[in-house]
Chain A
């Protein structure tokens, strides 16, 4: 199985900050990586797919990059509604796997 390791696991930041979350895959997954945002008690929401393609309706302050084994999710200027948990997901091969999550909290 492909393991995904996110860093950091916990991030404290302020409104307006630029933040970056990293996702590393245990083997190459080309660009078959998606990012999701999850708020407490809610289902995950798709933000980015194919490593860097913004899902329709997602604000442009979110961006993704990377290919192979290293990927990043960047939020250019944090807004209050962005404080949530973020997960990466690989869809290169079955079983589909997720990173352990990055919890983003208000400083």
Chain B
């Protein structure tokens, strides 16, 4: 079945970096963008950016520019999100999601249909 499997929970100190992985299975990894979304405890969903696994092209939310890097390894169908200069406010659950983009006649469709279960990142001294 189509799924995204994320790496396990991380505990980091302020100023450190974290790299979260997202392994795709059940579909052609290079055919769909991967997006990253995070959620602090008790808060809403916050979009971080996207990556095209075929080209490696990326786009990041302004808030994370300069601190986030999204990469992939196509040989193992895995996407990565690295966040640097961590601070306590980065404590959150980080999700990867498959981004569907398609069209039917004159209509275009975009949505995130498959999500990983999330990776908890805790930033604490």
A binds B: yes
**With an 8 A cutoff between CB atoms, is B61 at the interface?**
yes
How many residues on chain A are close to B (CB under 8 Å)? 24
Q: A43-B95, A43-B118, A44-B115 given as contacts; is B46 within 8 A of A91 (CB)?
A: no
Q: Which residue of A lies closest to B107 (CB)?
A: A50
B111 interface residue per 8 A CB criterion? yes
Does A53 make an interface contact (CB < 8 A)?
yes
Interchain CB contact under 8 A, A49 and B62: no
Q: How far is the CA of A94 from the CA of B44 in the complex (A)?
A: 18
Kindly identify which residue among B97, B109, B117 contacts A50, using a CB–CB cutoff of 8 Å.
B109
**B9 interface residue (CB < 8 Å to A):** no
- Do most interface residues of chain B lie in helix, strand or loop, or is the interface mixed? strand
Q: What CA separation (Å) do A7 and B59 show in the bound complex?
A: 30
**B44 close to A43 (CB less than 8 A):** no
Cross-chain contact of A101 among B37, B44, B109 (Cβ < 8 A): B44
Interface residues on B, range: 20 to 34
A96 at interface, CB cutoff 8 A: yes
Q: Which residues of chain B in 28-53 are interfacial with respect to chain A, using CB atoms and an 8 Å cutoff?
A: 35, 37, 44-47, 50
Binding site for B on A (CB under 8 A): 32, 34, 36, 38, 42-46, 49-50, 53, 55, 87, 89, 91, 94-101
Taking Cβ atoms with an 8 Å cutoff, the residues of B that contact A are 35, 37, 44-47, 50, 59, 61-62, 95, 97, 107-113, 115-118
13 A-B contacts (beta carbon < 8 Å): A43-B117, A46-B113, A49-B109, A50-B107, A53-B109, A55-B111, A91-B110, A94-B50, A94-B59, A98-B46, A98-B47, A99-B44, A101-B45
